[in-house]
């Protein structure tokens, strides 16, 4: 008995060692929990980045899908300009008396959006038809029946004014003539071309200048100046699209020619 006590005093009781299997289980459990949390956090961060990228992409598409927005001084586009970016069909519907023809004219916007010429709510010249061009776009109608006789466009910057003069001289008496500018309508115009257009009833043709916007409805054989005309001068101080003025629109009713 004494020997047992002495042995106990000489050798203090050993501390109980933890079961290594328990330690391993606890550590493995903590490792799995940490891994799951890190994975969840990574997915949340990735989702947030993806959402931000989608938002930025949508904003950029809305901003640059309309090329004219890059032309405006303040980056904004008026409702009038926005309306030109639809499907290219006639935007304004006009009802006229039985003995009249409805028309809708829209000049080009800068050098980006082509002009439109509509008769009786039908698109005659426009980007959808791929028949609009830089310069002066022209449609001629039979004044009695409203039948479209000719459509053409004449480049007044790099083209030959003689082709325009030849076309103007070929217009038959009693025809209705509709014109719309696009980009640059005046550089090559000479006195003869201006006089031929003035004879159709235009007043603005005499002062039409570099990159002005202009639409006009007149007729061959009339001696009365047309009131169906709009003209905006190219002025750096007031231009809407940097080097070009705002587009112009005109709609109304054209009376049939009577015998």
List pLDDT tens digits, range 66-102: 433 434 444 433 444 544 444 567 866 668 898 999 9
Query: Helix axis angle, 161-170 relative to 191-198, nearest 10°?
Result: 30
Q: Do 253 and 216 touch, CB atoms closer than 8 A? A: no
Q: What local confidence, expressed as pLDDT, does residue 36 receive?
A: 74
Higher pLDDT, 12 or 57: 57
Structure-token pair, residue 256: 């049939």
Q: Read off the pTM.
A: 0.68
What CA–CA distance (Å, rounded) separates 112 from 244?
A: 11
Cα 87 to Cα 81, 126, 128, 148, 194, distances in angstroms: 13, 10, 8, 22, 33
d(Cα 132, Cα 180) in Å, to the nearest integer?
10
Cβ contacts of 59-66, under 8 Å, gap ≥ 24: none
What is the average pLDDT across 40-62?
78
């Amino acid at each position: 008995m004494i020997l047992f006590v002495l042995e106990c005093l000489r050798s203090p009781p050993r501390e109980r060692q933890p079961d290594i299997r328990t330690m391993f289980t606890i550590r493995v459990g903590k490792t799995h929990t940490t891994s799951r949390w890190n994975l969840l956090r990574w997915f949340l961060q990735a989702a947030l980045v993806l959402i931000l990228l989608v938002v930025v992409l949508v904003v950029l598409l809305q901003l640059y899908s309309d090329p004219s927005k890059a032309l405006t001084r303040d980056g904004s586009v008026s409702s009038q300009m926005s309306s030109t970016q639809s499907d290219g069909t006639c935007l304004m519907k006009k009802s006229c008396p039985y003995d009249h023809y409805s028309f809708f004219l829209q000049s080009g916007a800068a050098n980006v959006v082509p002009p439109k010429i509509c008769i009786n709510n039908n698109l005659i010249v426009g980007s959808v038809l791929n028949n609009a061009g830089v310069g002066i776009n022209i449609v001629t109608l039979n004044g009695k029946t409203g039948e479209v006789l000719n459509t053409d466009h004449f480049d007044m910057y790099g083209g030959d004014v003689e082709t325009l003069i030849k076309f103007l001289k070929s217009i038959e008496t009693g025809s209705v003539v509709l014109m719309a500018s696009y980009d640059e309508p005046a550089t090559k115009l000479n006195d003869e071309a201006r006089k031929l257009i003035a004879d159709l009833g235009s007043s603005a043709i005499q002062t039409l200048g570099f990159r002005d916007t202009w639409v006009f409805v007149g007729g061959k054989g009339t001696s009365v100046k047309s009131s169906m005309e709009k003209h905006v001068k190219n002025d750096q101080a007031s231009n809407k699209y940097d080097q070009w003025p705002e587009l112009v629109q005109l709609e109304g009713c054209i009376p049939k020619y009577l015998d």
